[in-house]
Amino acid sequence: MNPDNIDIVLVHTTHSGNIGGVARAMKNMGLTRLTLVAPVEYPAPEATWRAASAVDVMENARVVGTLDEAIADSQFVVGTSARERRIPWPVQDARRCAERIAEHSTSERVAILFGREDRGLLNEELQRCNLHCHIPTHEAYPSLNLAMAVQIVAYECRMMQLEGQTADVEDAEWDTPFATAEDMTRFYAHLEETLIDIEFLNPKTPRQLMRRLKRLYNRVRLDEMELNILRGILTETQKTAARKAD
């Protein structure tokens, strides 16, 4: 595992103190890369106070306006989620997620997303992820503080680093870099545009088609060459559709 390739991303954090608490939890476990997506209040005295001896992590945090900016260069994105979804997504507990994070972070940029204190990550944000992380809390009191959730995931990552364990994943020594989140966003826009052009997708009644296609490609994970091939197929499909329309 390479901690320098792991970004903890907090999306629309409401309470500034939680940012400081997260910085402290990260530094406890050897993680230093913190990204804040449109925090409601930052910087703030409470955040500094809560950070204690991890003020350096917080002060070096990258602050961006959108999730797109936060994960543009990421090649493996993990989203934390406590809710069941209408369309199931690949989901693992924090320990199994840490195995995947440890393996991918050796050579790829990894982003771990944590959502709003009151409602977590939105469905469209979770659809940007390759994997969902669920912390199986007790049903009597399932709510976790944001810093607590980060601490649990960071701890499992730290244990993977100490034990030197990585999951046996088939893409451990892949021959081409994996596509970034920014590249995948452009691909999904191109795919949707093409499906509309060939009248396979009705934009007025899209149903769940694009959501299911995103789940498919995020589960498989495309490398840069595979993505270029698919984009080329989409382009030629659009040309053929245009000729037939004429």
- The per-residue pLDDT for 83 is 62
- The per-residue pLDDT for 117 is 93
DSSP 8-state assignment for residue 120: B
The whole-chain average pLDDT of the chain stands at 91
pLDDT band at 245 (very low <50, low <70, confident <90, very high): confident
Chain segment 36-47, per-residue pLDDT in tens: 999 999 999 999
- Show the domains of the chain with their CATH numbers: 3-163 (3.40.1280.10), 181-245 (1.10.8.590)
In the sheet that holds 6-11, the strands lie side by side as 62-64, 33-37, 6-11, 110-114, 76-80, 131-134, 91-93
CA neighbours closer than 13 Å in the CB half-sphere of residue 123: 10
Chain segment 205-240, per-residue pLDDT in tens: 888 999 999 999 998 889 999 999 999 999 999 999
User: Which residue in this structure is represented by tokens 């959502």?
Assistant: 115
In 3D space, the residue among 51, 47, 3, 42 whose CA is nearest the CA of residue 23 turns out to be: 51
CA distance 57 to 34: 7
CA distance 138 to 135: 10
In b/e form, how buried is each residue of 61-85, taking b as 16+ CB within 10 angstroms? Answer: beebeebeebbbebbbbbbbbbeee
In 3D space, the residue among 112, 119, 110 whose CA is nearest the CA of residue 12 turns out to be: 119
For 11, phi then psi, to 5°, come to -100, 115
Q: Could you tell me the pTM of the whole model? A: 0.81
